[in-house]
Structure 1
Amino acid sequence: MIVPPAEARPFDAVLCDLDNVIRSYDMSRVAALERSAGLAEGTTAGVAYAPEVDLPLLLGRIGTAEWEASIVRGLEGRVPEPRARELAAAFAHAPFHADEAVVALLRRIRALMPLVLVTNATLRLDSDLAALGLADLAHHVVGSAQVGVAKPDPAIYAIAVERAAVPARRCLFVDDRAENVEAARALGMTGTLFREPADLRRALAPALGE
């Protein structure tokens, strides 16, 4: 493998999402609780990720406890309150893990160019990264709750580009949501929609000499 010289690379920085790219959640406990309560699987997620419930959390305006309370209110009338509280707690504190194949690829690219995590995340982001053993994965971390703006707002991309110290047109952006990738492309970045580690490998291959 011959790593191409910097001037021959198709991009000079990588901006990468966290959730559903690097980090995955185990929602088996939530699914089991929903089944036992007679709810369709995904009901709790639908409540928790509704913009009016989720966005205040992602912008750092509320914490996890307030988010849980909002989920409980959203489940009102569908299940008894004790079960709603159980579902909300299981969802808000679901265990998570990092995809080692993705992490390995990102560590390789980090050695060659700036790597910036750009994620819609809560105020727990730093502690979550530490729990994953990834506090040192990226050169910079741009979390929505810390900066007060969330993807796909162009402002969070501008912050990430500034941290990378590379023009937007020389950045590769990786995310699992199409609207976030399209927003990056509209700003001149190269965008990759992530579905599996092979997508990231293909995107990074020209810079890694593969």
Structure 2
Amino acid sequence: MNPLPFDAVLCDLDGVLRHWDPAILGDLEVGYGLATGTLAATLFHPTRLLPAITGQVSDAEWRAGIAEDLHDLCGSADRARTLVEAWSRPVGRVDPDVLAILAAARAHVPVVLVTNATTRLEDDLAALGLLDQVDAIVNTARIGVAKPDSRVYVHAAAIAGVDVTRCLFVDDQAGNVDAARVAGMTGLLYAGPPSLRQALTPVQL
């Protein structure tokens, strides 16, 4: 019997391994004369976001749609496109502590990124130097369903090559963690590097 408590680590990307500067949206709103919260409400409105993270539209189509939605608020199509281009340039930053923790775990079990993302994900990961830092990537835009759909967890476990009951799933969204637990996984609601390090201690001994 395997003495380890799990045979694979399935880890979310945004909010765990990758983080975004919270000032980006606010600075753009000030620069374009928009009310606070306007950009987040537009960028992540379910009618725009869900098709993008389930692969119904490409990342480019998603961003073009956002520019259309911002047309009137920005005063012109060109100004709206320029705003979206400015928002699109950053790729976030990697948390070095989380990366080190996952690297240590990866010496014992496979580590798979499982993230709700658009078709741009792989380019972002390349820019961040993360493509070779994990064993596999589950991008929901490539499989047609997004967390917390149970099919994401079943698919991720299959990609890892282990039974769902032998997976540790890490995410910063409680709903996603709850869904993983319902699927039979061990779930960790991410609360910072110490919580992840503690959860992975058994596979780093």
TM-score, normalised by the number of residues in structure 1: 0.88
Conservation of the 8 A alpha-carbon contact between 1:26 and 1:94: no
Candidates 189, 192, 201, aligned match of 2:188:
192
8 A Cα contact 1:44 1:71, kept in partner: no
Segment drifting more, 147-156 vs 56-65: 56-65
Q: Which residue of 1 aligns with 2:41?
A: 46
Q: Which whole-Å CA distance do the structure 1 matches of 2:90 and 2:23 have between them?
A: 9
RMSD: 1.9
- Deviation of 1:27 (Å): 4.9
- Alignment of 1:174 onto 2:170: yes
**Count of matched residue pairs:** 204
> How far does the alpha carbon of each residue in 1:53-78 deviate from its partner, in whole angstroms, 9 at most, with x for none?
01111122222332122212333443
Query: Separation in 1 of the partners of 2:51 and 2:161?
Result: 29
Matches within 5 A, 1:56-75: 56-75=51-70
Mapping for residues 58-137 of structure 1, pairs under 5 Å: 58-81=53-76, 82-137=78-133
Q: Which runs of 5+ in 1 are unaligned?
A: 1-5
Partner of 2:147: 151
Shift, 1:31, TM fit: 1.8
Conserved? CA contact 1:174–1:192, under 8 Å:
yes
Rate the CA distance shift 1:142–1:95 in 2: closer, same or farther, 3 A. closer
List alignment gaps of at least 5 residues for structure 2: none
SS, match of residue 151 in structure 1? coil
Answer yes or no: is 1:163 the counterpart of 2:159: yes
Distance 1:129 1:58, change over 3 A: same
Contact 1:27 1:91 (C-alpha < 8 Å) held by counterparts: no
Whether 1:21 and 2:35 are equivalent positions in the alignment is: no
Partner of residue 30 from structure 1, selected from 25, 28, 35: 25
